[in-house]
Chain A
Amino acid sequence: MEHYLMNLTLKVWRQANSNAKGKFETFKVKDISSEMSFLEMIDVLNEQMIREGHDPIAFDHDCREGICGMCSMYIDGRPHGPWHANTVCQLHMRAYKDGDTIVIEPWRANAFPVIKDLMVDRSAFDRIIQAGGYVSVNTGSPVDANATPIQKDNADAAFAAAACIGCGACVAACKNSSAMLFVSAKVSHLALLPQGNPERKSRVTNMIAQMDKEGFGSCTNTGACEAVCPKEIKMSNIARLNNEYLVAGLTIDK
């Protein structure tokens, strides 16, 4: 790959804490290498700001290899930036050219309140999982792993759903701030496996109840979530959730 350097203008959302009123601030960064990752570019800006005596931009990030789900920036109107099936940390600066202006916003949803600058509180996702996103099995001596054969297609589909990193891009992209893609990924993962079968009815109903309680919107099948999901979680999971929900609603015994 050819490398090049670029100068950029960044328009970044700044907000001191969850109670403060935020606003956009504009920054210039110079000599950014096309080989840098997007977050490394922010690192450069932050180092510059600290040296100049300013408060650096707070943002969530950890593994920087696209799997922890911590990074969360809404870049130029798209969660995780312009690349398909990608996280911010894996976005590289060769996506931009000299002179570009980039607008960076936090995830916007009332269920994800801003903590500071670009950091948001996604603990609602933990609480949704607590509502039923598990198999109730204690540590101990379950049956041998190979005692239950699982059809490969189902195992693969369960894995594809379980690949969700819980970043919240689906919520950020959805016009309804719906968490359905996230919830449906977990419901699908466990509904597709025999291990998840005993609790499938209570799982889906409890998780949906919690999702509603957290203040996420409802799904209107627009598909924005699927388009921005870094792990390419499919909307068919949402339909599967609907199915699970309907069946549970019609057949649950109490």
Chain B
Amino acid sequence: MLNSKIPAGALDQKWVDYKGHCKLVNPANKRKLEVIVVGTGLAGASAAASLGELGYKVKAFCFQDSPRRAHSIAAQGGINAAKNYQNDGDSVFRLFYDTIKGGDYRAREANVHRLAEVSVNIIDQCVAQGVPFAREYGGLLNNRSFGGTQVKRTFYAAGQTGQQLLIGAYQALERQVALGNVHQYTRHEMLDVVMVDGKARGIIARDLVTGKLERHFGHAVLLCTGGYGNVFYLSTNAMGSNVTAIWKAHKKGAYFGNPCFTQIHPTCIPVTGDHQSKLTLMSESLRNDGRIWVPKQKDDPRKANDIPEEERDYYLERRYPAFGNLVPRDVASRAAKERCDAGYGVGTTKQAVYLDFKFNLINKYGKAEANKHGIENPDTETLIRLGKEVVKEEYGNLFDMYEKITGENPYEVPMRIYPAVHYTMGGLWVDYELMTNIPGLYALGEANFSDHGANRLGASALMQGLADGYFVIPYTIGNYLADDIATKPIPTTHEAFEQTEKAVAERINKLMSIKGDTTVETYHKRLGKIMWEKCGMARNAQGLKEAIAEIQQLKKEFWSNVRIPGTIEEMNPELDKAGRVADFIELGELMCQDALNRNESCGGHFREESQTEEGEAKRDDDNFAYVSAWEYKGESAWELHKEALTFEVAKLTQRSYK
């Protein structure tokens, strides 16, 4: 049965109590305990570094050529923390409440409150590491605001916050590598979990350079492998981001929590054609200063700058006057889709809306700068010039990126944006200690399901990844390993390792032996298309059923007709990709199953059957206030376990940003 192990007591005392009472491992014993960390993004690098510092023997794995390349690096906008440096009414409680509400009441209160509590430590820790956050002239830290909140609590480093935080964690990790506490395995991919007596005791990994399989023992295994947005083929994830590690764990018995909860980010650069390999995000922070609009006239042929003010429909400001352009991501995405579906889209594909900076560039920044420089009655030209300088400092890299991709200058013409798959709130089901239902197997960061409910607020992913790695796992893993101090390292000649490696090798051989005539990429694109059309921004029962049938068919074709060039024992990126796509196909089916089961709209999950008359999402707390935890039962078969969500503090109301 699912036991979330949430400590008793008042919400704000749970974590304090837990820390005060959890079991500890003494330093001498820590040196005897080995921990495997898979993935070196914010969660993985911070966990590996922190555990290394504590004295555990850590092995860190990543498929990239260096831990520093993990996709956390691409996070742009910022990281939330309840510091209340701005004196605007922020508090741990507010951050907790915003996150619960933003997640549409589908997250666990206790986990979210803990997240809000440790958020403040994260900022202190990162600053101590030398993360160069943006500062005010007085030398203190600066903040910006993000969607779904009414306070300024987001710490940032231009549009490269993820990069700076990851480099901080990476440096901490490399320090432990230098000290010999962590051994780092780059260009290695985990291909299965090894189970001994019902506990996770190691992994089978493949050296991607030589193609050889390796066995690694660990008293515990931490999966910090990120999200699975690439199941949609096109997403803002990196090309290599994949579900394989957690999917293998799932097939070994770990429950998959809320797989259908996908975040579609409202501000991405639109698709240009079939050749597109990935989508690029334009940070949500841009919505601080950009106003989103479409022409009031359908199929307006004019250029954006030729459309006069009164003929523009600032639809977010119109529909949601209280939050305006800063509504949460799911709301903004659906609103964009609604406008485009209704025929008001812009650009060549008509699948885009404008994100326009001119107004704030002139009125907010331009005027402030003019004031500062003592320029009286400045003309528009001057205001634009002055405003540009400020905007450049805040978002320069994003504007440059946009220009490189589209060839248009966003200082002059509005950006064209459209929603794209960005983050997956779902992931392995974990308890309060971040352990899956398999003893000794943990999931951290985006790879678990725990903190964001049905929708993640902006700047919270970085917060969660680092909270899990720096401040949660060092305590909770001790509580488990304290009972394991007598366990000697299991030799990798153990039967369990033998058999698991054999199964992995067989699967690879099978893939290579198909020798069909269709490339891996083709199947991935087809899967993505099914998922985007039928399990994307809007879902309905019929579409989901069709999708399941189509995916099952796709799976058959894949396993009978995929073509993989090269051989096994060499660097073979196509083979790596084939293994990942095969897992995505299976995951796609489960996502559709989950979406079909959840006949309500909540957060990023929008069931067309469950909406208000105005087309807003309608939650169904009576029937669906639970976490779906799916147990793998063999080929296309799953059993649903439900973890009921109880809310002691938060009041369940329909979210309203009006």
A interface list, Cβ under 8 A from B: 1, 16-17, 33, 35-37, 39-40, 43-44, 47, 49-51, 53-56, 58, 60-70, 83, 85-86, 90-92, 94, 115-116, 119, 121-123, 125-126, 129-131, 133-146, 148-152, 155-156, 158-159, 162-163, 165-166, 189-190, 193, 195-196
Q: Which of A50, A133, A139 contacts B574 (CB 8 A)?
A: A50
Q: Does B239 contact A (CB under 8 A)?
A: yes
Q: Does B26 contact A (CB under 8 A)?
A: no
User: Can you name 9 A-B pairs with beta carbons within 8 Å?
Assistant: A35-B275, A68-B70, A90-B404, A90-B405, A129-B174, A145-B123, A145-B141, A152-B136, A163-B160
The answer to whether B85 touches A146 (Cβ under 8 A) is yes
The answer to whether B273 touches A67 (Cβ under 8 A) is no
B residues 88-128 near A (Cβ < 8 Å) are 121, 123-128
The answer to whether B407 touches A92 (Cβ under 8 A) is yes
Chain A: minimal CB distance from B202 (Å) = 24
The answer to whether A55 touches B566 (Cβ under 8 A) is yes
Residue of A at shortest CB range from B567?
Answer: A55
The answer to whether A68 touches B69 (Cβ under 8 A) is yes
The answer to whether B68 touches A166 (Cβ under 8 A) is yes
Tell me the bound Cα distance from A67 to B401 in angstroms. 10
Chain A: minimal CB distance from B27 (Å) = 13
Tell me the bound Cα distance from A232 to B595 in angstroms. 45
Chain A: minimal CB distance from B62 (Å) = 11
The answer to whether B408 touches A1 (Cβ under 8 A) is yes
The answer to whether A159 touches B164 (Cβ under 8 A) is yes
B residues 553-576 near A (Cβ < 8 Å) are 563, 565-566, 570-571, 573-574
Tell me the bound Cα distance from A228 to B519 in angstroms. 35
The interface bits of chain B over 59-76 (1 if a CB of A lies within 8 angstroms of the residue's CB, else 0) are 000001111111101100
Chain B: minimal CB distance from A163 (Å) = 6
Tell me the bound Cα distance from A189 to B160 in angstroms. 15
Q: Which of A1, A61, A148, A155 contacts B132 (CB 8 A)?
A: A155
Q: What chain A residues lie within 8 Å of B273 (beta carbons)?
A: 33, 35-36
| Interface size, B (range) | 35 or more
Chain A: minimal CB distance from B472 (Å) = 11
The answer to whether A142 touches B128 (Cβ under 8 A) is yes
Q: Which of A54, A55, A92, A129 contacts B405 (CB 8 A)?
A: A92
Residue of B at shortest CB range from A161?
Answer: B132
Q: What chain B residues lie within 8 Å of A64 (beta carbons)?
A: 238-239, 277-278, 280
Tell me the bound Cα distance from A69 to B68 in angstroms. 9
Q: Does B593 contact A (CB under 8 A)?
A: no
Q: What chain A residues lie within 8 Å of B504 (beta carbons)?
A: none
Q: What chain B residues lie within 8 Å of A17 (beta carbons)?
A: 570-571
Tell me the bound Cα distance from A66 to B517 in angstroms. 33
Q: What chain B residues lie within 8 Å of A91 (beta carbons)?
A: 404
Q: What chain A residues lie within 8 Å of B123 (beta carbons)?
A: 145
The answer to whether A33 touches B141 (Cβ under 8 A) is no
Q: Does B272 contact A (CB under 8 A)?
A: yes
The answer to whether A67 touches B74 (Cβ under 8 A) is yes
Tell me the bound Cα distance from A53 to B574 in angstroms. 13
Chain B: minimal CB distance from A231 (Å) = 9
Q: What chain A residues lie within 8 Å of B133 (beta carbons)?
A: 145, 155
Identify 6 new A-B residue pairs, CB closer than 8 A, beyond the known A65-B74, A67-B73, A67-B160.
A36-B275, A55-B566, A64-B238, A64-B278, A142-B124, A145-B124
Q: Which of B65, B163, B281 contacts A122 (CB 8 A)?
A: B65
Q: What chain A residues lie within 8 Å of B69 (beta carbons)?
A: 62-63, 68-70
Q: What chain B residues lie within 8 Å of A165 (beta carbons)?
A: 73, 163
Residue of B at shortest CB range from A135?
Answer: B130
Chain B: minimal CB distance from A60 (Å) = 6
B residues 516-539 near A (Cβ < 8 Å) are 517, 519, 521-522
Q: Does B418 contact A (CB under 8 A)?
A: no
Q: Which of A83, A137, A146 contacts B128 (CB 8 A)?
A: A137
The answer to whether B158 touches A159 (Cβ under 8 A) is yes
A68-B71, A165-B163 are known contacts. Are A133 and B174 too (CB-CB below 8 A)? Answer: yes
Q: What chain A residues lie within 8 Å of B321 (beta carbons)?
A: none
Residue of A at shortest CB range from B520?
Answer: A50
A40-B277, A141-B124, A144-B124 are known contacts. Are A125 and B66 too (CB-CB below 8 A)? Answer: yes
The answer to whether A63 touches B73 (Cβ under 8 A) is yes
Q: Does B83 contact A (CB under 8 A)?
A: yes
Tell me the bound Cα distance from A196 to B129 in angstroms. 8
A17-B570, A134-B172 are known contacts. Are A51 and B277 too (CB-CB below 8 A)? Answer: no
Q: Does B53 contact A (CB under 8 A)?
A: yes
Q: What chain B residues lie within 8 Å of A62 (beta carbons)?
A: 64, 69, 71, 238-240
Q: What chain B residues lie within 8 Å of A131 (beta carbons)?
A: 178
Residue of A at shortest CB range from B186?
Answer: A123
A17-B571, A47-B519 are known contacts. Are A139 and B124 too (CB-CB below 8 A)? Answer: no
A62-B71, A162-B132, A195-B130 are known contacts. Are A146 and B141 too (CB-CB below 8 A)? Answer: yes
Tell me the bound Cα distance from A103 to B127 in angstroms. 44
Query: Lowest 9 CB-CB distances: which A-B pairs, in order?
Result: A149-B139, A134-B171, A142-B128, A159-B132, A1-B407, A130-B178, A145-B127, A139-B50, A158-B132
Q: What chain A residues lie within 8 Å of B73 (beta carbons)?
A: 63, 67-68, 165
The answer to whether B276 touches A40 (Cβ under 8 A) is yes
The answer to whether B174 touches A134 (Cβ under 8 A) is yes
Tell me the bound Cα distance from A123 to B565 in angstroms. 27
The answer to whether A152 touches B135 (Cβ under 8 A) is yes
The answer to whether A142 touches B519 (Cβ under 8 A) is no
Chain A: minimal CB distance from B126 (Å) = 8
Q: Which of B50, B125, B129, B407 contacts A94 (CB 8 A)?
A: B407
The answer to whether B401 touches A122 (Cβ under 8 A) is no
The answer to whether A43 touches B401 (Cβ under 8 A) is no
The answer to whether A146 touches B175 (Cβ under 8 A) is no
Q: What chain B residues lie within 8 Å of A133 (beta carbons)?
A: 171, 174
The answer to whether B139 touches A50 (Cβ under 8 A) is no
Q: Does B49 contact A (CB under 8 A)?
A: yes
Q: Does B370 contact A (CB under 8 A)?
A: no
The answer to whether B65 touches A70 (Cβ under 8 A) is yes
Q: Which of A35, A70, A94 contacts B64 (CB 8 A)?
A: A70
A134-B175, A139-B125, A149-B138 are known contacts. Are A63 and B74 too (CB-CB below 8 A)? Answer: yes
Q: What chain B residues lie within 8 Å of A56 (beta carbons)?
A: 565, 573-574
Q: Does B470 contact A (CB under 8 A)?
A: yes
Chain A: minimal CB distance from B445 (Å) = 16
Tell me the bound Cα distance from A150 to B137 in angstroms. 9
Residue of B at shortest CB range from A64?
Answer: B278
Residue of A at shortest CB range from B123?
Answer: A145
Residue of B at shortest CB range from A128?
Answer: B174
Q: Does B82 contact A (CB under 8 A)?
A: no
A139-B172, A189-B130 are known contacts. Are A68 and B566 too (CB-CB below 8 A)? Answer: no
The interface bits of chain B over 137-159 (1 if a CB of A lies within 8 angstroms of the residue's CB, else 0) are 11111000000000000000110
Residue of B at shortest CB range from A162?
Answer: B132
The answer to whether A129 touches B172 (Cβ under 8 A) is no
The answer to whether B83 touches A163 (Cβ under 8 A) is no
Q: What chain B residues lie within 8 Å of A189 (beta carbons)?
A: 130, 132
Residue of B at shortest CB range from A68?
Answer: B69
Q: What chain B residues lie within 8 Å of A16 (beta carbons)?
A: 570
Q: Does B478 contact A (CB under 8 A)?
A: no
Residue of A at shortest CB range from B122?
Answer: A145
Q: Does B253 contact A (CB under 8 A)?
A: no
Q: What chain A residues lie within 8 Å of B132 (beta carbons)?
A: 155-156, 158-159, 162, 189, 193
Tell me the bound Cα distance from A137 to B571 in angstroms. 37
Q: What chain B residues lie within 8 Å of A83 (beta carbons)?
A: 404
Q: Does B297 contact A (CB under 8 A)?
A: no
Tell me the bound Cα distance from A54 to B519 in angstroms. 12
The answer to whether A152 touches B170 (Cβ under 8 A) is no
